[in-house]
Amino acid sequence: MDKDFSALEKWYLDRCDGYWEHSWGVKIQTLDNPGWRIEINLNETTAQLRILPRQKIERTESDWIHYWVEKETFQAAADLQI
């Protein structure tokens, strides 16, 4: 799991300039089904104008992930499968 978060940590650190991190950032939340959700604001990044329609990977009812870009924000939601 350390490798999974190290890429996100590096991406975030590369954007921290004393301003960006106070206006934009990353949110990780829990879902009640149970699962998790992440929102990564892409404002003032090279991916700001990226378009990504909703992608769904649904292996089983309890093994799934959805991800997309909406309003300059990368979003993903998934179950708790590891």
Q: Is residue 53 within 8 Å of 65, Cβ to Cβ?
A: no
Give the count of domains, the chain.
1
pTM reported for the whole predicted model = 0.81
Which of 6, 5, 75, 17 is closest to 45 using CA atoms? 17
User: What is the pLDDT at residue 82?
Assistant: 62
Range of the domain at 16: 2-78
What mean pLDDT, rounded, does the chain reach?
88
